[in-house]
Amino acid sequence: VMLRDRPGPEGDELLGTYREQAHALAEAGVDLIALEMIGSPDYGAPALEAAAETGLPVWLGVSCEAAAGGGLQTVGPPHVDLAELLRALLGPEIAVVTVMHTELGLVDASLAAVRGHWDGPVGVYPESGRWEPPEWVFADISPAAFAAEARRWVAQGVQLVGGCCGIRPQHIRALGETLPSRLPGLGPEAP
């Protein structure tokens, strides 16, 4: 990923690098390509193009934070307005949009922003805590509270639920114990 404050490939060279990675993954037999923490069309567009060329399902993962003037922006740098990013990248090659590595308190607003531009499947795997170098500082959310939030998201149409930084195995276990194994109408029921 090329960020403004880090040197790296640009233009055709960046697209070529992403193509090499995407095709290596496809040849290795992956089921899908998840583009995570896509925060700018500058690198998101070539990553999406390369992933789509494989013919595999492509998931677009957006990480959101509150913007200084209100609204939502991508975690950066660069910081891009979330709506701007979605307008630039969403298209038929996307199979799922996920709100990921986003604070629990911003998930609802982030989902609303995504739903304003996307009517396909959505997922949520938020973070809990914060990075204080050299380590992640865990926030206190109980597994039961996390599962309750997940039930709310599922009731709002979220089809994929998981966790990112700060979400521990006991949180995921609580999801497995409280969420349905399949949503009604989305495929065969689990035995």
Quick one: pLDDT at residue 183?
Answer: 66
pTM reported for the whole predicted model: 0.89
- Reported as a single tens digit per residue, the pLDDT across 171-191 is 999 999 999 877 666 555 544
Confidence label for 5 from pLDDT (cuts 50, 70 and 90): low
* Nearest-10 Cα torsion for 58, 62, 63, 68: 160
Q: Give phi and psi for 177, each to the nearest 5.
A: -85, -20
Sort 67 into a burial class: Cβ within 10 Å, 0-12 / 13-18 / 19+.
middle
- Reported as a single tens digit per residue, the pLDDT across 95-147 is 999 999 999 999 999 999 999 999 999 999 999 999 899 999 988 899 999 99
> What kind and span of H or E run contains 62?
strand 58-62
Those residues whose C-beta lies under 8 Å from the C-beta of residue 135, and which sit 6 or more positions away, are none
Quick one: pLDDT at residue 11?
Answer: 82
> What kind and span of H or E run contains 4?
none
User: What is the residue type of 22?
Assistant: A
Average pLDDT for 19-44: 96
